[in-house]
Amino acid sequence: MVSKHEIKIDTLNESLWENRYSDPSPLEKKALKLLKDAGRMNYQRGIAYAHLNLAALSFLRSENDNALRHLSESFQWLKTRKKEKGYIRYLLLKGNILESIGHYDKTLKLWLEALNISRETGDPESESEACNQLGLVWLRLGNYKRSLDFFEKGLEIRIKLNDEKALASSFNRIGMVLREMKRYDESLDSYFRSLEIRKRIDQTQAIQWTLLGIASTYEKMKKFPESLEYYEQGAKEGDRRCILQCLLGAGRVQSRLGFSGEAEEKIRKALSLARELKSLSLTSEAHIALADHYELNDQPKRALRSFRQYLKSREAFQSREMQNRLRNIEVTHAIEKSEQEKEIFRLRNVELKNAYDIIEEKNMDITANISYAGRIQMAVLPDINEIPGMKENCFILYIPKDVIGGDFYWFSMIKGKLVLIVADCTGHGVPGALMSILGISFLEDIINTKGIDKSHLILDELSRKVVKALKQKGYRNETRDGMDISVCVIDRDLCTLQFSGAHNNLYLTRNNELKEYPADRQAVGYSDEPGTGFTSQTIDISHGDIIYLTTDGYTDQLGGKDHKRFKSQAFRSLLLKIHKKPLAVQKKILEKEFNRWKGKNIQTDDVLVFGMSL
């Protein structure tokens, strides 16, 4: 017999589920209290439903790891109780998470099961939700007719139930598919019906999604000022996935309106957030938005690079094979084989355990190999003690994004001159490390074996070697891997410094002033303008001058209160501020400021800053 305390917990859990789209912070506190109370009573049903509520709240904050953990806890009780409303909620919510990261085959399977069970148990509320979700996955795959059929079926059920919260969601989804069908006026009508309901019943979290839909429709209609207004409203606060899409849309629109700097900043912020959320589809959208932006602003090289990244990410979730797998799953799900399903479920648990053990073992091997590769990479970097007096007169701030990285430094003495090099290879992690070892090997040959001591000739020869090694011919879809690099050749007898650079500039401080020497705007590797060599600059140097060579990892790091790039101007100001301090102190300040700026954000790229007193 159910006690009054258990009834109270059930009632409160149901209330939390119904209000899950409201402000999540107080709801989470209530859900955690319910979990604690149910646990103290050992009331398993209450525990399972409390975990479901916590999973839903975590998902709405884009905290998928927490959501999956709570779902796993609720499943322990629900897996043998498939007629429970909570089991359907489990299927729908897990499908939401998988859909958000592009796993449409697994998503469709879960939502079809939810639809079948809701019809078997006579649960119209769950049936309408399943229809609403199934319409979404077919919308993602471009089957608009099938998508609209599911959405309208869900709306029909919700009208009968007079469920205003659910009606608003249906109108929102219908607005999405009508926009894709280019029925723009009907789309806006549906969205504004959703917005009116959500404002009236104070659905704070959900309003943001409706604003995104309205903005997207105006963008399709080329009504850019109206579109930007709604995108900026939607990006103010709330769900990170929605903020991401509003930033992306605002960036696209600002690019069209001629606000180039603001546009690129918003799109890059959206790309970073998409990677953080591990969303394949949104990562792809950000790359194509960047490609369009660069093309619009006459930057063909950057446009091509972004377009290649777009194609690569798109393949991961929109392949023809994926489409076929989805159709096969739908057909399979229409056939009821309950006994066989139970056996498959049991076997899958065994298979998953074996697979987990194999993956764990492989992961340990990979981690060990990468760590070993890191030791090898550090071994091929030159020893600062090899050149007398150098250790006391320079610092090296090296912070790879992963265990190993694509940034490297190199130096050597040749013909009485000191050659200093700081480079940033394409990529980071293992690919970047491979390129860095290749680059170091080439520099050893160019400088120490062939004796080339002119900075521009060093870059010319290095570029030829990279093109030859990577077999770059200039074809449309081939790799454009290479490196950005700074080369300094210091002749202390003549008190001169010869500088050449590929994208990476040189900074020099003297008499409380900082001067920046620009690099050539081409990378080492394949060039769209064959035959174009690198240039050099000869700089007179004095005792007390300090030079700084750096890759773009420091200035490109996202952080601060507005989640923006650190930028070159702030970096130059920081160098000027600290240049009179001892070099060891300068390094500590640079590292401290980098970590302060980064905060809790993920590191964007490898970081390398080299400073030397002349």
- Residues 190-208: pLDDT tens digits? 999 999 999 998 887 789 8
54: left (phi over 0), alpha (psi -120 to 50) or beta: alpha
Please determine, for residue 529, whether its predicted confidence score (pLDDT) is greater than 70.
Answer: no
- Do 239-314 and 384-613 fold alike per CATH? no
This prediction has a pTM of 0.44
Please determine, for residue 528, whether its predicted confidence score (pLDDT) is greater than 80.
Answer: no
d(CA 211, CA 232): 9
Could you state, in order of their start, the residue ranges of all structural domains in the chain?
A: 239-314, 384-613
Please determine, for residue 66, whether its predicted confidence score (pLDDT) is greater than 50.
Answer: yes
349 vs 108, higher pLDDT = 108
- pLDDT (tens digit, 9 = 90+) per residue, 301-318? 888 888 888 887 777 655
- 407 three-state secondary structure: strand
Name the residue with tokens 């579109």.
227
517 vs 297, higher pLDDT = 517
Q: C-alpha angle with apex 20: 14 to 24, nearest 5 degrees?
A: 130
The reported pLDDT for the residue numbered 329 is 45
Give mean pLDDT, residues 216-220: 93
How high does pLDDT run on average in the chain? 84
**Of the listed ranges 92-106, 335-349, 351-365, 368-382, the one predicted with least confidence:** 335-349
The reported pLDDT for the residue numbered 535 is 94
Instruction: Tell the CATH topology of 239-314.
Output: 1.25.40
- pLDDT (tens digit, 9 = 90+) per residue, 466-519? 888 877 766 555 556 788 999 999 999 899 999 999 999 999 999 899 999 999
pLDDT bucket at 427, cuts 50 / 70 / 90: low
CB atoms within 10 A of CB 332: 11
Instruction: Tell the CATH topology of 384-613.
Output: Phosphatase 2c; domain 1 (3.60.40)
**Helix (H), strand (E) at residue 216:** helix 204-220
110 vs 357, higher pLDDT = 110
351 vs 384, higher pLDDT = 384
Beta-strand pair 513-517/558-559: unpaired
| Maximum C-alpha span of the chain | 96
Please determine, for residue 292, whether its predicted confidence score (pLDDT) is greater than 80.
Answer: yes
